[in-house]
Amino acid sequence: MSGLDRKTAFPAAGTLYPLYPLFFLIPIAFAMIVIENVFIFIKNILDKNPSMVMREAENKPEELL
């Protein structure tokens, strides 16, 4: 938290932007990803079919662009 006390900033487009929001946003985003993974793990334990798996098309020709 010393960066919050020092009031550090970074220059972008000729303006100084404070760094302190990043000190809070990055850990919050990491915590939210961990929570999402916990919910997906619980869902996979409770359901018989796993979620978030890649499935290939069954007997269909590939579409070309």
Q: What is the pTM of this model?
A: 0.58
The residue type at 2: S
SS3 10: strand
The residue type at 65: L
Residue-wise pLDDT for 9-47, tens only, equals 888 888 888 888 888 899 999 999 999 999 988 888 888
**H or E stretch including 20?**
helix 20-46
Give yes or no for residue 48 having a pLDDT over 80: no
C-alpha distance across the termini of the chain, in Å: 52
SS3 9: strand
